[in-house]
Amino acid sequence: MNIRKAVVTAAGRGQQALPLQTFVDRDGVEKTALQIIAEEVLAAGVDEIGLIVAPGDRDAYRLAAGSHAGRLHFMEQIEPRGYGQALSLACEFTAGQPFLHLVSDHLYVSTQPARCAQQVVERARAEKCSVSAVQATREAMLPYYGTVGGRREPRTAALYEVENVLEKPTPSEAEQKLVVPGLRAGHYLCFFGIHVFTPAVMDLLIEAVALAPVDGAVQLSPVLARLASRERYLALEVQGRRYNIGVKYGLWTAQLALALDGNDRAEILAQLVELLAVTNQGGR
């Protein structure tokens, strides 16, 4: 699988500003979330980035991309018709080739030298099939994520064959349809925000859009459930953590994670200890 292109979705209404937020990255340099995502993509060996944006957002994203702006190819989602319809807009850009896909409201911290997207790309190349990154997630977080059910691949502890996919299931739905043997009770394999897709995914998306009502939303999870019934589709527990910057305290949590994984770790820890000490004194 020759994976040379990435597609990043950033057209979600009410969330367009998230990739424009500024963080201090692990190297101590201020960067936008979009710049950090672009570096994640480039570290995986991908050359070009297709960015799905809402109308009127191109200039802001081009500015936020900094030195990576020349790698961007823009596509606009004119109407808010869902995640799947947004991704389908990259059909011409991907041109019948496998591609890396990331969401724009997550940042990642790897616990090994290979960054998170690189881990997924390498696994997809080795297995020659679609691979979605997943993370064991407590059931209280199910309203935020697509979730997969399946079975563990023999001799590979972190790899699963996907059998079912549901978008933001309720705990009762997950318990009935998405239990994965070996996970802790109350935990499920939720999407990490990084995927490598074969061309079949784009074909299924185009078909779903064509069959949907003119103003109907098309989501990605039902398409991935269909993919699992058509061809081999794997889920990989990535060695790292995802940080959703779109949830309450998400920006703060992501910044803290980047800082603690970076050059200024000792200084940040000292400041946290000092802050906790002052807070405890105030509480008394």
Phi, psi for 181 (deg, rounded to 5) = -55, 135
Report the C-alpha gap between 228 and 240 in whole angstroms: 25
| pLDDT in single tens digits along all 284 residues of the chain | 899 999 999 998 878 899 999 999 999 999 999 999 999 999 999 999 999 999 999 999 999 999 999 999 999 999 999 999 999 999 999 999 999 999 999 999 999 999 999 999 999 999 999 999 999 999 999 998 999 999 999 888 899 999 999 999 999 999 999 989 889 989 999 999 999 999 999 999 999 999 999 889 999 999 999 999 999 999 999 999 999 999 899 999 999 999 999 888 998 999 888 888 888 776 55
pLDDT in tens, 53-82: 999 999 999 999 999 999 999 999 999 999
- For the stretch 219-255, pLDDT in tens is 999 999 999 999 999 999 999 999 999 989 999 999 9
Question: Is there a contact between 116 and 107 (Cβ–Cβ < 8 Å)?
Answer: no
What CATH number does residue 44 fall under?
3.90.550.10
Quote the CA–CA distance of 223 and 187 in Å, as a whole number. 23
Phi, psi of 26 (to 5 degrees): -60, -25
Task: Let me know: does 5 contact 48? Beta carbons within 8 Å.
Answer: yes
What whole-number distance in Å separates Cα of residue 138 and Cα of residue 105? 20
For the purposes of burial, counting CB atoms within 10 Å of the CB of 60, is it exposed (0-12), middle (13-18) or buried (19 or more)? middle
Domain count, the chain: 1
Percent of the chain as helix, strand, coil, to the nearest 5: 40, 25, 30
Which domain does 238 fall in, by range? 5-283
